[in-house]
Structures are given as structure tokens and as C-alpha cells.
Amino acid sequence: MNTSILRTALFPLLLISAATSFADTASDRAEMQKKLNQETMDKPFAVEDVAKIDTYIADAMKKNLQPKKVAPNGWQSGYTCDSYYQTYTYNYNGYRDCMYYHRYYGRYW
């Protein structure tokens, strides 16, 4: 049998097989991502170490340190520290700074 004919016949089969395999992998990835997103949303809001934040705020107030005056990237009107923390991938430092600003000025940015 001529190798040219064999290659011509096998190449489309390989492409179909690879495309099917890729489609299965892409749908599996999409399903896994959807499951991970749901697991993340099902978790309750919890800052890992609230006592550490309270200590930071108390120390900063004793030293009379000014909080950051500029709102963090992505801050929107109506946000609270909790909503910012949840929206921006659990940004601990941003949450801590927000809590200090709120405690210092009695308002959000």
C-alpha cells in the first residue's frame, strides 16, 4: 500500500480524534470551573483573623497614623469592607485598610 494514501486516510481520523478529545477536555474544564465557582460562593464570608485586624487598627490609632486616603482599585460607591473583600478575591490588606478607614473616619471612601 502506498504510504501517501495511508497518510491521507489516517490524517483526518487523527484530527477527528484529537478534536473530540479536546471537546471533552474543554467541557470537563468548564464543568469543573462551574463546580469550583459554586463551592466558592457557598462558603460563608469570613476574614481569617479579625483579632489581627483589630490589633492593627488599635496600634495605628495609638500612633495617630492616617489611613490611606485613596480608595483601592475597583472600589465602587455603595461598597462596604465586606463587599470589597468578597469581590476582590479576598484581599486581606484591602479589607484591613478599609476597616481602618471606616473606623477612623466613620464612613467608607
DSSP 36-56: HHHHHHHSPP--TTHHHHHHH
pLDDT at 23 over 70: no
Whether residue 56 sits in one domain with residue 27: no
Whole-angstrom distance, CA of residue 109 vs CA of residue 74: 12
Whether residue 39 sits in one domain with residue 63: no
Instruction: Tally the domains of the chain.
Output: 2
Hey, what's the cell of 71?
480608595
Whether residue 65 sits in one domain with residue 39: no
pLDDT band with cut points at 50, 70 and 90 for residue 81: confident
Residue 97: Cβ-neighbour burial (10 angstroms; 0-12, 13-18, 19+): buried
Whether residue 100 sits in one domain with residue 54: yes
Residue identified by cell 467608607 is 108
pLDDT band with cut points at 50, 70 and 90 for residue 102: very high
Whether residue 25 sits in one domain with residue 59: no
Whether residue 99 sits in one domain with residue 54: yes
- Residue 84 confidence (pLDDT): 77
Residue identified by cell 469581590 is 87
